[in-house]
Amino acid sequence: MRAHGRLSHEAVSTKSAGNVPFAFVFDDAGHLLVTEAEKSGVTSYTLNADGSLDPITESVVSGQQVLCGIARAGAFFYGTNPGSSTISLYTVDAEGVVTLGGENGVIAAAGGSRSSPTAPAWKASWLSDRRNGPKCPTGRRRRVPPPRASVLQD
């Protein structure tokens, strides 16, 4: 990338710190956060002037299944884990260091369970396609509650 977010004239490729990079978002300081679906991790990177990336925090794993999307809401980053039907919370400090919030990486259940007859339809399709690797749903939105104060305490 060039100044002001424009694409560079030449492509620059950097190997991902984790496997199955899936989604990305930038924080206010310009650090790149990338989700890794295989082990449900988030890696933060510094974007260099030549377009290459240097990892800051490598694969902060939530312990959940198939981290797909990540969205910024103020100072917080929320990750969706359709494989475990949960939502994870991440924070990023001024240096780009990623920290996992919540209990066991979870701040909210997204509804249903694998064995539940009320599990969402996309959950069933994800389970039926497990042998082909991680699969993330599209088009479904859920309301994410604000984090509880206790989530951010050590």
What's the pLDDT at 16? 85
CA pair distance 124, 60, nearest whole angstrom:
27
- Provide the token pair at 100: 């996992």
Q: What number is the average pLDDT over the span 84-90?
A: 89
CA pair distance 118, 124, nearest whole angstrom:
10
53-61 and 41-47 beta bridge pairing: antiparallel
State which amino acid sits at residue 40: S
pTM to 2 decimal places? 0.68
CA pair distance 53, 67, nearest whole angstrom:
21
- Provide the token pair at 40: 């449900």
pLDDT, greater one: 120 or 154? 120
State which amino acid sits at residue 47: L
Neighbours of 72 (CB within 10 A): 15
CA pair distance 101, 44, nearest whole angstrom:
16
Structure confidence by residue, pLDDT tens digits, 108-120: 887 654 443 344 4
